[in-house]
Amino acid sequence: MRVLTTSLLAMAATPAFAAGDKPFFSLANTDFVVWIAFLIFVGILLYYKVPGTVGKMLDGRADAIKADLDEAKALREEAQSLLASYERKQKEVQEQADRIVSSAKEEATRAAEAAKGDIAKSIERRLASAEEQIASAEASAIKEVRDQAIVVAVGAAEDLIAKQMDAKGANSLIDEAIAAVGEKLH
């Protein structure tokens, strides 16, 4: 009905009404023929319910677009939740990596302290061993010096006795030594 009203108003505004040489409602007037063909075309469209079909198609298309938009919105929300999940996991992994690095640093510090303690003990053992070697060398040197001193003293005593001793004194010393040995053996 709207179409018919619209077409009548459109016809009223045509220049054919202003032209006075041909009557408007005549088949000789091309504007009238076009207007009738238009009305027939609109009638055929209305008879076959083309506006309703076009409306249903547009409604279907609008519903499909709305469904696509809803699906896109759902996909976007899912993507955002996945992104948030991955960000949480990445943060957890970063925290775990930080804990591992911190633990490794602490372990390295403890190992370094233990190594320092081991080195200190090793140095103490080596110092003790060196002190023992020095003491042993010192004792050996003292013994060597004493032995040498005894050898020198005995040699000096021999020389002194040999110079001061005569044959008569040597015989008396030998007799005394034999007597002392004889007493000790019996």
Rg of the chain on CA atoms, in Å: 68
Stretch 67-76: mean pLDDT = 96
Of 7, 61, 54, 57, the C-alpha closest to 34 is 7
Q: 35 and 17 in contact (C-beta within 8 Å)?
A: no
148-167 per-position pLDDT tens digit: 888 887 777 777 777 777 77
- Would you state the pLDDT for residue 98? 93
For the chain, the domains span 2-100, 143-185
Q: Which residues contact 35 (CB under 8 A, 6 or more apart)?
A: 7, 11
pLDDT surpasses 70 at 42:
yes
- Is residue 53 scored above 70 in pLDDT? yes
pTM beyond 0.85: no
